[in-house]
Amino acid sequence: MNVFATLRGYRAGWFGGDLLAGLMLAAIALPEQLATAKLAGFPVEAGFFAFAAGTLAFALLGTNRFASVGADSTIAPIFAGSLGALVATGGTEYRELAGIVAIGAGAILVAVGFARAGWVADLLSVPVTTGFLAGISAHIVIGQLPSLFGIAKTEAPLILQFVDVIAHIGAANPYTLALGIAVLAVTLAASRVSERIPGALIGLVCAGAAVAAFHLRERGVAVLGDISVSVPRFHLPLVHDVETLLKIAPLALVVAAVCALQTSVVVRSFPSNAGASDDPSGDFVAVGAGSILSALSGAFAVNASPPRTAVAKGAGGRSQMSGLVALAALVAIVAFFSHLAAFVPQAALAGVLIFIGMRIFRLGDMLQIARRSPGELNLVFAGALLVIVFPIQTGMLLAIMLSLVHGVTLVMWPPATQLFQVRGTTVWWPRTGERDVMDVPGIVVFAPAAPVNFTNAEYVRQRLLAVVAQAPPPVKLVVIEASAVTDVDYTGGAILQTAIEALKARNIEVALARLMGAHANEAAERSGLIAAVGMDHVFLSVADAVAKLSGEPATPRNA
């Protein structure tokens, strides 16, 4: 594996862009890393350790020039909620378990990366992913409401937490609420103007200044307190209870899956150059190594961040040097200004986290799904409800299973429809209302829109025979439009041949049309499908098949 891949051939002229991008990245990352550490149930300085580990590991092993890796608000509530059900959040045992989860998730990502299995990130469909991100958004927002209102937080299922907040809203601290809403408003306004404006940092600074100027700590406003500036003590998290280890193993898998998905999105959305590979495998290794290093430093799992990556690229960053500059800037800030955290209100971090939760809630994606594939909107709702109603780890596992089941369903029951001739043309099209189509007496054109294999062959056979049975008699010719049949396995070929034989027994001719691609042709021939219809019944188009087999000149495919 190449090390420092993005720094090879580095030019002095690039440093100006990396310097500006790094400083902007530090301004964005400072409040975000503090807030995410709080969300993860760790001391806020752990966010700096996570950012340092992710940045250093990715600069060393990563291949993408722009990706920013560190503490991430998408995965923090996943492991925090699950581990919180086992041990008290924030304690030594909790941090040890979170470290083991980080090491486990990192090891999985490293293994997947070395196996060049970046395709695993594609196993999660966009609707299901959008749904479980909405569920995580609900966890973040509802979980921060007590800090926003200045009331005690109850440990209960998410819905009961929300009910408890509503029940105690009358006891809210007005100063705390005003500070939190102000920080949220500033962060939202800045993001609307430009992602480059560090709205969260501006909000935190102003909130801290207000606490100091108006002595709001004496009015019940909770603050962060001093941030430890000590160098992290590296150690290997251990667990001596095998039963507990088995309980958290699925959690490491879930965290690794979400990291793989998000890293894949970052790498493909912000490629290093126009000709760069979209295979994220190498970057999985870097993110996995970052999680392991983070755990050893006393922090938690890390992930690639789409918003921070967008800032780094948009500010003119040319390499991972921008991340190293950001890390150096954060180290300087912590070394010289950490005492100012004694004035930063907890509600301000709650405002930042609520903003992050709102950003994770991808309303735009939901609207696109509703417009382009209304049926899949149910997957969005199902993914969200699973994560909201069940414990978050269980909900995430169920959401991942839902995505896989959805994929298997599409293979097992693919669209398999009848085509009709577009009036005045030689084009054949489904009856969708988009085209003026007409029936051609005696001819049925059937289009299975998937490879034919053991999972769906019986369904395709039944659909074919049903379409023929529903057509006005007498049917003389059936053309199987096979442009989407990219493969035919042994079982699929054998089952489809029984349908062809049944049609021929009724004196119905059967033809294949538009069997495209060398692999598809070889598979159809190897499975016996072409022999079943006859070589002289395989055509380049439906129009050719209809013309030839109705007695007019045609252009059959060469043998």
Closest CA to 218 of 106, 345, 330: 345
Predicted pLDDT at 552:
45
pTM of the model: 0.81
Q: What is the DSSP letter of 153?
A: P
Taking only the tens of pLDDT, the chain with its 559 residues reads: 678 888 888 999 999 999 999 999 999 999 999 999 999 999 999 999 999 999 999 999 999 999 999 999 999 999 998 898 888 888 889 999 999 999 999 999 999 999 988 887 777 788 999 998 999 999 999 999 999 999 998 888 899 999 999 999 999 999 999 999 999 999 999 999 988 889 999 999 999 999 999 999 999 999 988 787 677 888 999 877 888 888 899 999 999 999 999 999 899 889 887 666 668 899 999 999 999 999 999 999 999 999 999 989 988 999 999 999 999 999 998 888 888 888 999 999 999 999 999 999 999 999 999 998 888 999 999 999 999 999 888 888 888 888 888 888 888 999 899 999 998 898 999 987 778 889 899 999 999 989 999 999 999 999 999 999 999 999 999 999 999 999 999 999 999 999 999 999 999 999 999 998 888 899 999 999 999 999 999 999 999 999 999 754 444 444 3
Tokens coding 286: 């870097």
Closest CA to 542 of 527, 556, 558, 528: 556
Closest CA to 474 of 502, 503, 499: 503
Q: Where are the domains of the chain?
A: 15-409, 413-549
SS3 511: strand
Residue environment code for 202-217, b if the CB has 16+ CB neighbours within 10 A, otherwise e = bbbbebbebbeeeebe
SS3 78: helix
How far is it, in rounded angstroms, from Cα 546 to Cα 510? 11
Looking from the CA of 124 toward its CB, the CA atoms found within 13 Å total 26
Looking from the CA of 363 toward its CB, the CA atoms found within 13 Å total 3
SS3 97: helix
Decide: 135 and 379 in contact? Cβ < 8 Å: no
Q: What is the DSSP string of 441-496?
A: TTEEEEEE-S-B-TTTHHHHHHHHHHHHHHSPSPP-EEEEE-TT---B-HHHHHHH
Residue 467 CA, chain-centre distance (Å), reads 39
Counting DSSP H helices and E strands in the chain, the numbers are: 21, 9
Cβ atoms within 10 A of the Cβ of 19, count?
A: 17
Residue with token string 């970057």: 283
CATH class held by domain 413-549:
alpha beta
How far is it, in rounded angstroms, from Cα 97 to Cα 91? 10
Tokens coding 76: 């923090």
Instruction: State how beta strands 68-70 and 303-305 pair.
Output: antiparallel
| DSSP β-bridge partners for residue 511 | 479
Instruction: State how beta strands 538-539 and 509-513 pair.
Output: parallel
Q: What is the dihedral of CA 34, 268, 409, 452, to 10 degrees?
A: -160
How far is it, in rounded angstroms, from Cα 66 to Cα 9? 16
On the 0-12 / 13-18 / 19+ scale of CB atoms within 10 A, 8 is exposed
Instruction: State how beta strands 443-448 and 509-513 pair.
Output: unpaired
Q: What is the DSSP letter of 71?
A: -
Mutual orientation of helices 346-360 and 199-213 as an angle, nearest 10°? 160
Q: What is the DSSP letter of 220?
A: T
